[in-house]
Structure 1
Amino acid sequence: MAPRDLLLQLAAVLLPASSTADPDAVQDYCVPDTGGRAVPVDPARLPSYPCRSPANLTAADFTSAGVRAAGNFSSDTGFAGVSVTPATFPALHTLGMSFARADLSAAGGVNPPHYHPRATETALVLAGRVYAGFVDTGGRVFAKVLEKGEVMVFPRAMVHFQMNVGDEPATVYGSFNSENPGIVRIPATVFGSGIKDGVLERAFGLSPEELRRLQKRFGPPKTKTAEMDD
């Protein structure tokens, strides 16, 4: 094989992989000028906003109190989550990162299985004892109890979970290597998105009554199912 052909083949393999990450910044930072619009702003519109002049920025523009307090707790799971992205903290724009706070109620609060399609997450336990882990594509579970000060990494797009196994409330700080990591919550996606009943009954061996119970818990579909006519 000619060297030129080999180089082209390598480029075809490597370039698509490198383009899947957030784009590299071409300047120190870009705090978007949203024209006075209050946060949160539409993340899809952030690239269209010009950068504010560095001369008009202060330390306050690079500071956020977004994870100072817990979010609203779910009565079903004992979980409260707060995420901070460029939509709520514009200084993160072009920096390729975002972060979140997760709080788990004492003795059993759980962050149900989910994954982030566009980011790897590192989770730092700030308080409490948390059983955390992820499942790889081979079906292997990597899980352990994390103590205060310990960190676990959840590779990109791997299903992962967290559960408070202590007697006190637990708090976890998560950071992501993407401005928009996305989140797919497994129970809600499967049973609350409007997938046809027959598919779910067959796939999970559920009776119609069992399926209705799960659909009621995880909510009715919020949008119509986009599917082709038979």
Structure 2
Amino acid sequence: MASKVTVFLVLLIHIYAVSSSDPDPVYDFCVPRTNLSSDALSCKNSTLVTVEDFVYSGIKSPGDFKETGFAATPVSSTVFPGLNTLGMSFVRADFAAGGVNVPHYHPRATEVGFVLEGKIYSGFIDTKNKVFARVLEKGEVMVFPRGLVHFQMNVGESPATILGSFDSQNPGLVKIPAAIFGSEIKDELLLKAFGFNSKELAKLRKHFES
């Protein structure tokens, strides 16, 4: 009986390990090409791959700033083919003075954020609602565990920039305010959950509607 339990536990651990990260690549690289006969992506012939497939210049400048004073330029294999099957992606995040990256999480990736410029109040919340946060300065790095809500705010007087790296080709992004108030969750539930009146909820709905 004990041996059966051991085998079962080993299988569970193996299944978890396999399902908890992107699959391992089976080639040195797989720069994608579109198969004209289907929507599936296949790899270019390696003889057609060039160094340009492994270089990306799209984050030299900030992206478009939102009303929160935040601009994000995500980089995945969709725009940077050389990343395909390598199990990673990244983002350039720029903050105006006082700019905020609203509470959000990535369901499929741990993130490492490196401060290139500025002072960023940065942190995450664990499943016991404990907040781990402090001001990061240029050259400092913070890790945000997969699936945990995290946030950033520029607390300096000048613009700030973070480079974020993910251990998944497709980390996913769920912004908490938009997910709650910009979705089709019934008003009755939200009114009871947050103690709003109908007018306050309608205002939030309008602000976060897609």
Q: Which residue of 1 is the match for residue 94 of structure 2?
A: 103
1:78 and 2:64 matched = no
Question: Runs of 5+ in structure 1 lacking a partner?
Answer: 37-44, 223-230
1:68 and 2:60 matched = yes
Q: Which residue of 2 is the match for residue 40 of structure 1?
A: none
Alignment RMSD (CA, Å): 1.4
Q: Which residue of 2 is the match for residue 151 of structure 1?
A: 141
Indicate the percent of aligned positions where both proteins have the same amino acid: 54
CA distance in 2, matches of 1:197, 1:51: 47
CA distance in 2, matches of 1:196, 1:111: 26
CA distance in 2, matches of 1:119, 1:178: 5
Question: Runs of 5+ in structure 2 lacking a partner?
Answer: none
Deviation string 1:32-88 (CA, Å, 9 cap, x unpaired) is 12269xxxxxxxx5xx3221122222211100112211111012x101111011111
Query: Secondary structure at the residue paired with 2:33?
Result: coil
Q: Which residue of 2 is the match for residue 89 of structure 1?
A: 80
In the TM superposition, structure 1's runs of 4+ consecutive aligned residues that sit over 6 Å from their partners are: none
Relative to its length, the structure with more strand (as a share) is 2
The amino acid of 1:56's aligned partner reads: L
Deviation string 1:93-130 (CA, Å, 9 cap, x unpaired) is 11000000111101x10000000000000000001000
Q: Which residue of 2 is the match for residue 228 of structure 1?
A: none
Q: Which residue of 1 is the match for residue 16 of structure 2?
A: 17
Q: Aligned runs of 1:162-181 on 2, under 5 Å?
A: 162-181=152-171
CA distance in 1, matches of 2:187, 2:80: 40
Q: TM-score, normalised by structure 2?
A: 0.94
The amino acid of 1:86's aligned partner reads: S
Query: 2:35·2:42 contact (CA, 8 Å) conserved in 1?
Result: no
CA distance in 1, matches of 2:48, 2:169: 24
Q: Which residue of 2 is the match for residue 54 of structure 1?
A: 46
1:204 and 2:194 matched = yes
CA distance in 2, matches of 1:155, 1:2: 34
Q: TM-score, normalised by structure 1?
A: 0.86
CA distance in 2, matches of 1:191, 1:67: 31
